[in-house]
Amino acid sequence: MSVAEILEGKSVVVCAGSGGVGKTTAAAAVALGMAARGATVAVVTIDPAKRLAGALGLDMLDNEPRRIDSRRLAGVTMKGELWAMMLDPKRTFDDLIDSVAPTPGRAAEIKANRIYDQLSTAVAGSQEFTAVSKLYELSQSGRFDLIVLDTPPARNALDFFDAPARLEAFLEGGALKALLRPTTIGMRLFAKGATPILGALRRVTGVDVTTDLATFFALLGGMTDSFGTRARHVDVLLHAQTTGFLLVTSPEAGPTDDAIKFRATLADGRLPFSGAVVNRVHPPVTLTDSPLPDVDPALAQKLAKTLAEYGVLAARDAANVTRLRAALGDAPLLLVPEFEDDLNDVHGLVRIHRELFR
Amino acid sequence: MSSPLLQRRLIFITGKGGVGKSTVARALAGVAARRGMRTIVADINGAGDQHEHQLAPNLSSLSIDPQSAMEEYLSLKVGGTAGQILGQSRMFSAFAMATPGMRELLSLGKIWELAQPQRRAPDAEPYDLTVVDAPASGHGAALLRTPRTFAQITKVGPVASQANAIAQTLADREFTAIVAVAVPEDLAVTETVELDEALQRERLNLDLVVLNKRHPDRFDEREREQLRGWDPIRAPAARLALAADLRARSEAEQAARLEERFGERLRSLPFLFEPLIGAAGLQRLGEVLAL
């Protein structure tokens, strides 16, 4: 089966999986293949290899998709358009504030706030939050037939879904608003418990941070509703039938376990699962050849060792792929063989794309 | 290295996703435990039940969950009515968990507690060594930066002093070591160099870089020539050998980049041809790391 068949009718593809399995390259290869077949495709990568980014002309970090010159993609006939962008979390966050702030003055004040600075540059959470935020924005623009999103590296796949929700919860600031602004309905509801909590909060955190937070939320003011609405739209988009999650993994034991867990997470969250890509598989080798001519014993021994080592990996991969297949049921599973050299350039991208679009 | 790795009380293991951080953490903790040190391996995935599980003689593990870490912190540090109120307040807990960096700070607070010669947690025996199976490079560097950021934002109060104490512990090279794991591939090496730069900006240092999964480099030029002479279709063994050799060449190039930058601070671990790295494999890797 080819990725083109798997993604029939999809307008958003989220590539997910544990770190170090070739997710970014797979996302770019999927986008390349779909664009070659005639679609206008944007791939949003989080942290691509410098060589790949450079080769595609993505060195500029302007946080907007750039059209890839198909002359860079030697050997691929491009019927559609391939666009790519490297996500800049800080920039995406700033743009978001600009778009929801009532006045440019207010936007500038928020961006100068210390709490905001910490919020928008903290790696944990902000990549995930801005990635889905950007996905939503691009999807709303209607400029692309398909958007392929690479997800930030995480050991726990759940992070991708939890982190944006956590940040939204903070931005909506429900609990804190109730504590800090005694005039709100929230405060009246919590009136009895809030005063000692506020006192204790000051004791634990120190006064400064409470004041900073109060200023920050006062600045956000009515904007917090916009974050909530946005979060609900993103949620609808991720659950849509036109969205597909593509699991990327390697055939090692750990990533296979992660992939199986991730499949369960998607099912629990009723998120649409499209299939899995297993990268760097060692295909089995059948040795039917006659003995090699004129091999001196030293070389023969080295060859035997190399073969035995390869055999271990091929057997390991076959066992893990079988395990994954059993866990995925009827879902499509695509295998990409291991290549002997590093594949973080355009050449590698084109090769992986060929494997995915056979 | 300013002092040998196993003489520290706290070791953070970070690196790009998929390079074998957990394996290196377990190997290092294993060798320390066999040498008689009371050792714990901690991760901050929060999947566990916040209990220290004994794995082997002298060796325990703990999966830190920020929520439990917070409850423990509140009961220890705040205590009294305020501590109780906060510990039981779902509102406070939701707010604290949502505050950017708070989960990281709480997890680090627990790690700091584990590594103390006199522990704060009631009835807790001290450990000689705490090995942290930390998140991948970007998130790992962010984790290590958290205490200083908090100390700067809060300035005064108990959180500020706690954050300051943790930040000082992390920067103390007699106490804490930071280890980066890499594999001999372009991306992983580049990420290691970037991590080193990011840590330097935080006035932290990489004490050791572990080059993991180095494949054997066994063919010489004469043998290479001979292999190239065979028909790859008729001789798949020759084809596999040439592919392995090509990999070894590319790995040598990447290893050279690390050697140039890290010199004495670099250790190489062999690729283990095993379906799943078992006790014997971990022991083998551990002995190399503890040299």
The reported pLDDT for the residue numbered B97 is: 67
Q: What is the pLDDT of residues B25-44, one digit of tens each?
A: 999 999 999 999 999 999 98
| Interstrand relation of A146-150 and A81-86 (parallel, antiparallel or unpaired) | unpaired
B244 part of contact set with chain A, CB < 8 Å: yes
Q: What is the pLDDT of residues A301-323, one digit of tens each?
A: 999 899 999 999 999 999 999 99
Q: How far apart are CA B207 and CA B70, in angstroms?
A: 30
More confident site: B99 or A188: B99
CB contact under 8 A, B103 and A313: no
pLDDT of residue B198 exceeding 80, the answer is yes
Q: How far apart are CA A34 and CA A16, in angstroms?
A: 18
**Residues of A numbered 42-71 whose beta carbons fall under 8 angstroms of chain B's beta carbons: which are they?**
47, 49-51
**Which of the residues B63, B93, B102, B139 would you substitute to probe the A interface, choosing the one with the greatest number of A C-beta atoms within 10 Å?**
B139
**Predicted model pTM:** 0.86
A125 confidence band (pLDDT: 50, 70, 90): low
B141 confidence band (pLDDT: 50, 70, 90): confident
The reported pLDDT for the residue numbered A83 is: 94
- Helix or strand run (H / E) with residue A201: helix A185-205
CB contact under 8 A, A118 and B101: yes
Q: What is the 3-state secondary structure (H, E, C) of chain B?
A: CCCCHHHCCEEEEEECCCCCHHHHHHHHHHHHHHCCCCEEEEECCCCCCCCCEEEECCEEEEECCHHHHHHHHHHHHHCHHHHHHHHHCHHHHHHHHHCCCHHHHHHHHHHHHHHCCCCCCCCCCCCCEEEEECCCHHHHHHHHHHHHHHHHHHCCCHHHHHHHHHHHHHHCCCCEEEEEEECCCHHHHHHHHHHHHHHHHCCCCCCEEEEEEECCCCCCHHHHHHHHCCCCCCCHHHHHHHHHHHHHHHHHHHHHHHHHHHHHHEEEEECCCCCCCCHHHHHHHHHHHCC
Extended beta strands in chain A, E state: 12-16, 40-45, 66-67, 81-86, 146-150, 243-249, 273-281, 333-337
CB contact under 8 A, B154 and A303: no
**Residues A82, A86, A88, CA angle at the centre, nearest 5°?**
145
B178 confidence band (pLDDT: 50, 70, 90): very high
Residue of B nearest to A167 (CA): B98
B61 confidence band (pLDDT: 50, 70, 90): very high
Measure in Å the smallest separation between the Cα of B163 and chain A Cα atoms: 11
What angle, rounded to 10 degrees, do the helices at A123-141 and B137-154 form? 110
The reported pLDDT for the residue numbered A7 is: 96
Mean pLDDT, residues B178-198: 93
The reported pLDDT for the residue numbered A190 is: 39
A193 confidence band (pLDDT: 50, 70, 90): very low
pLDDT of residue B1 exceeding 50, the answer is no
Q: Which of A193, A203, A306 sits opposite B240 (nearest CB)?
A: A306
B274 part of contact set with chain A, CB < 8 Å: yes
The reported pLDDT for the residue numbered B244 is: 93
Interface predicted TM-score of the whole assembly (ipTM), two decimals: 0.87
Q: Which of A155, A197, A209 sits opposite B92 (nearest CB)?
A: A197
Backbone torsions φ then ψ of A96, nearest 5 degrees: -60, -45
CB B48 within 8 A of CB B151: no
**Residues of A numbered 144-163 whose beta carbons fall under 8 angstroms of chain B's beta carbons: which are they?**
152-156
pLDDT of residue A342 exceeding 70, the answer is no
pLDDT of residue A177 exceeding 70, the answer is no
**Which of the residues A21, A187, A204, A346 would you substitute to probe the B interface, choosing the one with the greatest number of B C-beta atoms within 10 Å?**
A204
Tell me the two tokens of residue A179.
Answer: 């504590």
Q: How far apart are CA B223 and CA B203, in angstroms?
A: 48
Report chain B's mean pLDDT, rounded to a whole number. 87
* CB crowding B164-174: b at 16 or more within 10 Å, else e: bebbebbbeee
Q: How far apart are CA B199 and CA A208, in angstroms?
A: 27
The reported pLDDT for the residue numbered A201 is: 60
Report chain A's mean pLDDT, rounded to a whole number. 81
Give how far the C-alpha of residue A40 lies from the chain's centroid of Cα atoms, to the nearest Å.
Answer: 20
Q: What is the pLDDT of residues A73-114, one digit of tens each?
A: 888 999 999 999 988 888 888 988 898 888 999 899 888 887
**Residues of B numbered 92-151 whose beta carbons fall under 8 angstroms of chain A's beta carbons: which are they?**
92, 94-95, 97-101, 103-104, 135-136, 138-139, 141-143, 149
Q: How far apart are CA A358 and CA A286, in angstroms?
A: 23
**Residues A342, B277, B140, CA angle at the centre, nearest 5°?**
60
B226 part of contact set with chain A, CB < 8 Å: yes
**Residues B174, B175, B176, CA angle at the centre, nearest 5°?**
105
